Amino acid sequence: MNFYKSNRWKRKRELILKRDNYRCKECSRYGKTTEAVTVHHIVPVRENESLRLDNNNLISICNACHNKMHDRLTNELTAAGLDLQKRNLGKIKK
């Protein structure tokens, strides 16, 4: 079964969106208030599957910010995605 269609992920996603008040945490760094519709894995699942449901590895972001985190052709993290990882290293146990 696809992880993103599982009930565990759906429940966790909703929990993270609620935790972050349905606001994009990246936009809020710049004083903007933007609705978050996506929960992003700071450390991608393919890099460390054990972190896929770790609250510290999950952040609510808008679609525009999510698109800045990934190269959509290769699905690799961009400089913005790597920067987000760096900023959160203390919270995430890789």
> Tens-of-pLDDT digits for all 94 residues of the chain?
699 999 999 999 999 999 999 999 999 999 999 999 999 999 999 999 999 999 999 999 999 999 999 998 998 999 999 999 999 988 887 5
User: pLDDT value at position 92?
Assistant: 83
Closest CA to 37 of 62, 70, 66, 12: 62
Q: Tokens 């590895």 appear where? A: 57
pLDDT, residue 72, reads 85
Whether 78 and 39 have beta carbons less than 8 Å apart is answered as: no
The pLDDT, as a whole number, for residue 94 is: 59
